[in-house]
Amino acid sequence: MEQSALLRTELAGIKMQSPVWTASGTFGFGEEFTDFVDLHRLGAVVVKGTTLQPRRGNDGVRMTETPAGMLNCIGLENPGVDFFLNDILPRIQKYGSNIIVNISGSTVEEYGILAEKLDVPGVAGIELNVSCPNVKDGGIIFGTDPKAAAAVVTAAKKHTSLPVILKLSPNVTDIALMARAVEEAGADAISLINTLLGMAIDIHTWRPVLGNVTGGLSGPAVKPVALRLVWQTAQAVHIPIIGMGGIMNADDAIEFFLAGASAVSIGTANFVDPAITMKIIDGIADYLQLHHLNNIEELIGKMKL
């Protein structure tokens, strides 16, 4: 069977050329990678976090390497949803990839407004970033409270006909509780994990390396945690999962499929090798052929206990 036929799949009604996505914030708007990547071969391009108004992001150092990954505190720098719709979306549509827009809000209502604005041709789905504080509720982080996360899903679903994906944070006590709450609220899929919270200190200045003091940890260091959380979530819900966290090659991706993910999203690896998604797609196809599998569905959740 030819490679493209092996890899074609569908998730939450989105027809995909492959089960390999790019993670928000690590791939720009996709067009920046066209010298290295055939965007049409990707299952989806998840564009960088988008907010209602333009944001300049955090001051100071925003990224730093760690022994097995990186820390970032970009602060959701982006040109705002209207600029994205009017200027960026018309440009990136021509590449033929599914475009998923990652959105962040500071109130439940903002998520609803963003979802409605983005319910337009050319957008294949919406990913809800709930790692932000709810300014109307004492600064509670949406993604650490089941009721708050569910309210965000409800608001988005009410205002869009597109698939709604909830991006779960690993910084919670019970991932299954969070996953069931957003599934019951109507989420069409779950993506996880978002970054773990970490920090670094400069021992010569005695100051934090990052301008925001703390930041999100990503890369190979988080993979075992991400894999465990994907497996636990797959046991708790019936909606599809997009797994991510430290995926650096095809073998890593296959582990996530076996744990229960229906697709994988590549993040930090894009900084190491801008063509890595193509290599991972090829590697998955080679694995399926080697093991005489007809499609990716024959791998999903098939870990043996």
The 3-state secondary structure of 96-134 reads CCCEEEEECCCCHHHHHHHHHHCCCCCCCEEEEECCCEC
Residue 159 lies in a domain: yes
Instruction: Report the CATH number that the domain containing residue 215 is assigned in CATH.
Output: 3.20.20.70
Q: Are strands 164-167 and 125-129 parallel, antiparallel or unpaired?
A: parallel
Q: Domain span at residue 168?
A: 3-298
Residue labelled with tokens 């069977």:
1
Residue 304 lies in a domain: no
Residue 56 lies in a domain: yes
> What pTM was computed for the model?
0.95
- Whether 132 is a known active-site residue: answer yes
Residue 222 lies in a domain: yes
Catalytic position from the list 6, 16, 132, 181 = 132
Question: For residue 104, what pLDDT is reported?
Answer: 95
Question: d(Cα 76, Cα 216) in Å, to the nearest integer?
Answer: 12
Angle between helices 250-259 and 223-236 (to 10 degrees): 30
Q: Tell me 59's DSSP state.
A: S
Domain count, the chain: 1
From residue 54, give the alpha-carbon distance in Å to each of 59, 80, 247, 305.
Answer: 15, 4, 30, 48
Among the listed residues 113, 277, 262, the one whose alpha carbon sits nearest the alpha carbon of residue 190: 262
Residue 264 lies in a domain: yes
Residue 262 lies in a domain: yes
| Count of beta carbons in the 10 Å neighbourhood of residue 35 | 8
The distance from CA 226 to its chain's CA centroid, rounded to whole angstroms, is: 12
Residue 303 lies in a domain: no
Q: How does pLDDT run along the chain (305 residues), one tens digit per residue?
A: 666 788 999 999 999 999 999 999 999 999 999 999 999 999 999 999 999 999 999 999 999 999 999 999 999 999 999 999 999 999 999 999 999 999 999 999 999 999 999 999 999 999 999 986 655 665 568 889 999 999 999 999 999 999 999 999 999 999 999 999 999 999 999 999 999 999 999 999 999 999 999 999 999 999 999 999 999 999 999 999 999 999 999 999 999 999 999 999 999 999 999 999 999 999 999 999 999 999 999 999 999 99
Question: For residue 131, what pLDDT is reported?
Answer: 80
Q: Which two structure tokens, joined as six digits, stand for 35?
A: 């010298």
